[in-house]
Amino acid sequence: MARVLVVEDDQFVRSALIRHLTDASHTVRSVGTALEALREVAHVRFDLVILDLGLPDLDGSEALKMLRGITDVPVIVATARDDEREIVRLLNAGADDYLTKPFSVEHLSARMAAVLRRARPVAGDVPPSTVLRVGGLAIDPLRREAELDGVRLDLTRREFDLLAFLAGRPGVVVARKELLAEVWQQSYGDDQTIDVHLSWLRRKLGETAARPRYLHTLRGVGVKLEPPRPEQTP
């Protein structure tokens, strides 16, 4: 079953969604604002987000853009707007599917199943995985799992993508522009986005920018990932 984040400010709708998803054996977290949603996806790895557009702090379409800046988790937009141009705009902005309110729980379940099938590889189609190893780090790109010294790392999707991309180029300084293009699929963007994710990733690797072990930032150049030197090994 899936880990689902429900972003809905209407308490009645929110409670109904939580009840239905829980009854279907999904693990559910819920928030009522866009900013709460952004905090959740930055620190918890979800399989799916159900995003209402009529949020009190930010329009859902803006929230979608901000979500896409930090994660590639599948998003189903729940909206009362049925204008075709608006729906096309949302899909182009990064939504994986949409539901027009009101909708039945059966309709929601079917859309969720379809989105999750597209997001997850079929077991029989997955070739043997090549695990990337850098020092005590082991990163499995196909299974999207990472370990540090044998301990599983709980990474968000974007944190995993960033770590895996750097681990595929150990010791190589990767320019921020390349990180934006390859990890965020953006031709331009705010360097602060990278800095924030590096900070979160460092925390999970047990290091800091002042005392790096694996992640090293070269000011004005880029970022590299390399094994810790012997004197840095605990």
pLDDT in tens, the chain (234 residues): 889 999 999 999 999 999 999 999 999 999 999 999 999 998 888 999 999 988 899 887 888 888 887 888 899 998 887 777 887 788 777 888 888 888 888 888 888 988 887 766 544 444 555 889 999 999 998 888 999 999 999 988 788 889 999 999 999 999 988 888 888 776 665 667 788 889 989 999 999 999 999 999 988 889 999 999 876 555
> Tokens in use for 46?
């979800």
Amino acid identity, position 157: R
Give the β-pairing of 75-79 and 27-31.
Answer: unpaired
Bridge-partner residues for 137, per DSSP? 134, 148
pTM surpassing 0.85?
Answer: no
Amino acid at 174: V
Q: By CB neighbour count within 10 A (0-12 exposed, 13-18 middle, 19+ buried), where does 48 fall? A: buried
Structure tokens at 93: 């902005």
CA distance 177 to 223: 11
What six digits make up the tokens of 128?
Answer: 């043997």
CB atoms within 10 A of CB 100: 13
C-alpha to C-alpha distances, 113 to 25, 55, 117, nearest whole angstrom: 13, 25, 6
Residues comprising the chain, all counted: 234
Element (DSSP H or E) covering residue 146: strand 145-148
Q: What is the DSSP string of 104-119?
A: -HHHHHHHHHHHHHHH
Dig out the tokens for 157 from the structure: 């999707």
Residue 59 is given by DSSP the state B
Q: How far is Cα 18 from Cα 208, in angstroms, rounded to an integer?
A: 38
Cα 65 to the center of its chain, rounded Å: 13
